[in-house]
Amino acid sequence: MSERPVIAFLTGGYSGEAEISYKSAITIEKNIDTDRFEVYKIDIRRDGWWHTAANGEDIQVDRNDFSLNFHNQKVVFDGVFIGIHGTPGEDGKLQGYFDMIGLPYTTCDAASSALTFNKRYTVAVAAFAGIHVARSLHLFSNRHASAVSIAAQLNLPVFVKPNNGGSSIGMSKVNKAEDLPEALEKAFLEDDQVLVEEFIEGREFTIGVFRHKGDIVTLPFTEVITKKEFFDFEAKYEGLSEEITPAVVSDDIAGKVRQTAAKVYQVFNCSGVIRIDFIYNEAIGQPFLLEINTVPGQSEASIVPQQVNAMGWTLRDFYSALLDEALTGK
């Protein structure tokens, strides 16, 4: 029997973000230290939770205790590396399941994952903690405000986006009130809740934060300069943006972004690595929180791997640190 901790690495998922999960999986698989950890990749899909053995056989996970059975040999796990973007890996569902069966994992807990997956609740909690956020409206598919009502309550331009989800899927920037209905329809195709948020003028920064040996660490952060009107799916994943890591900023701006990022990590009781998106408004000299990603992308196009590299770590060191933190419970 291996003395290495046995780790289930989860990919896939039930949402449109599954394709991003599979891109992240390529990077994660290449860089998990298999000298230190015995790793089994598990694909979480609607038709089941599957591990493909070396001989090509698909083995279904026993969800009663999250185990695998290889011809009468049972594999049980010491911990879980969650690499699923969207539901059920980023919204607290899997975290709640693993809490019930007593398995540690590499992300925020169930409550923090569920809270941060809901963009409106995220900014509400952040505002209560004194963190700057944009003014916004929370709409529901069965009862939502008209375009005229929205335009009367918020200053255009606004962003219209699914309230739950990520990768900027279903998101629009609206400059004119007459374009609101189409943007709302697009967002409601992705979710039954929509967030309409005032545009904040400023520089866009995104920063990875994680806990290492009990201390909160802020990674060298990135400035995002998009070639599109905003940092949408194409800008993120099809090269239509410029990402400067580390961002070229004054010590004052760097300090405020790092300090606010560490505060967000504490306020939301985060674990593992998260990525926080900010707009730095130079008029008032403060970062505004946009959203928190509790399972940030790890693909070749993703930002956190860039930031880890800028810190002088390898991804192998980084993933080992995340697993060590999860397994020791520090």
Q: What is the pLDDT of residue 300?
A: 77
My answer on whether 159 and 288 are in the same domain is no
**What is the C-alpha to C-alpha distance for residues 144 and 155, in angstroms, rounded to an integer?**
18
Q: Of 150, 175, 198, which marks where a domain is finished? A: 198
pTM (predicted TM-score): 0.89
My answer on whether 13 and 26 are in the same domain is yes
Residues 99-114 pLDDT 10s = 999 999 999 999 999 9
Side-chain-side CA neighbours of residue 220 (13 Å): 16
| Spatial contact of 238 and 230, defined as CB atoms under 8 Å apart | no
- Check which CATH number belongs to the domain holding 322 and give it: 3.30.470.20
**Confidence tier at 233 by pLDDT (50, 70, 90):** very low
Whether residue 79 is contained in a domain is answered as yes
**Number of compact structural domains in the chain:** 3
My answer on whether 235 and 162 are in the same domain is no
**What is the C-alpha to C-alpha distance for residues 70 and 62, in angstroms, rounded to an integer?**
11
Residues 24-77 pLDDT 10s = 999 999 999 999 999 999 999 999 999 999 999 999 999 999 999 988 899 999
Residue, of 122 and 146, whose pLDDT is higher: 122
Mean pLDDT throughout 158-172? 80
Whether residue 37 is contained in a domain is answered as yes
Q: What is the pLDDT of residue 145?
A: 75
Pick from 26, 8, 33, 3: nearest CA to 317: 33
Pick from 270, 303, 214: nearest CA to 20: 303
Residues 282-330 pLDDT 10s = 999 999 999 999 999 998 779 999 999 999 999 999 999 999 999 997 4
My answer on whether 144 and 282 are in the same domain is no
Range with the poorest average pLDDT among 7-21, 168-182, 244-258, 315-329: 168-182
- Check which CATH number belongs to the domain holding 34 and give it: 3.40.50.20
My answer on whether 191 and 205 are in the same domain is no
My answer on whether 186 and 85 are in the same domain is no
My answer on whether 151 and 80 are in the same domain is no
My answer on whether 204 and 324 are in the same domain is yes
- Check which CATH number belongs to the domain holding 190 and give it: 3.30.1490.20
**What is the C-alpha to C-alpha distance for residues 318 and 330, in angstroms, rounded to an integer?**
16
My answer on whether 213 and 226 are in the same domain is yes
Q: What is the pLDDT of residue 231?
A: 45
Q: What is the pLDDT of residue 1?
A: 40
Q: What is the pLDDT of residue 208?
A: 98
**Confidence tier at 127 by pLDDT (50, 70, 90):** very high
User: What are the two backbone dihedrals, phi and then psi, of residue 71, each rounded to the nearest 5 degrees?
Assistant: 45, 60
Mean pLDDT throughout 107-123? 96
User: What are the two backbone dihedrals, phi and then psi, of residue 168, each rounded to the nearest 5 degrees?
Assistant: 60, 20
Q: What is the pLDDT of residue 65?
A: 96
Residues 175-228 pLDDT 10s = 999 999 999 999 998 888 999 999 999 999 999 999 999 899 999 999 999 775
Residues 147-156 pLDDT 10s = 888 989 999 9
**What is the C-alpha to C-alpha distance for residues 164 and 186, in angstroms, rounded to an integer?**
14
Whether residue 20 is contained in a domain is answered as yes
**What is the C-alpha to C-alpha distance for residues 330 and 328, in angstroms, rounded to an integer?**
6
Whether residue 15 is contained in a domain is answered as yes
Task: Walk across the sheet containing 58-60 and list its strands.
Answer: 58-60, 48-52, 38-45, 6-12, 79-82
Whether residue 1 is contained in a domain is answered as no
**pLDDT of 238 over the 90 cut:** no
My answer on whether 259 and 122 are in the same domain is yes
Side-chain-side CA neighbours of residue 322 (13 Å): 30
Q: What is the pLDDT of residue 78?
A: 97
Residue, of 238 and 155, whose pLDDT is higher: 155
**pLDDT of 126 over the 60 cut:** yes
My answer on whether 291 and 188 are in the same domain is no
Q: Of 169, 198, 227, which marks where a domain is finished? A: 198
Q: Of 174, 198, 222, which marks where a domain is finished? A: 198
My answer on whether 46 and 166 are in the same domain is no
> What radius of gyration, in Å, describes the C-alpha atoms of the chain?
20
Domain span holding position 170: 136-198
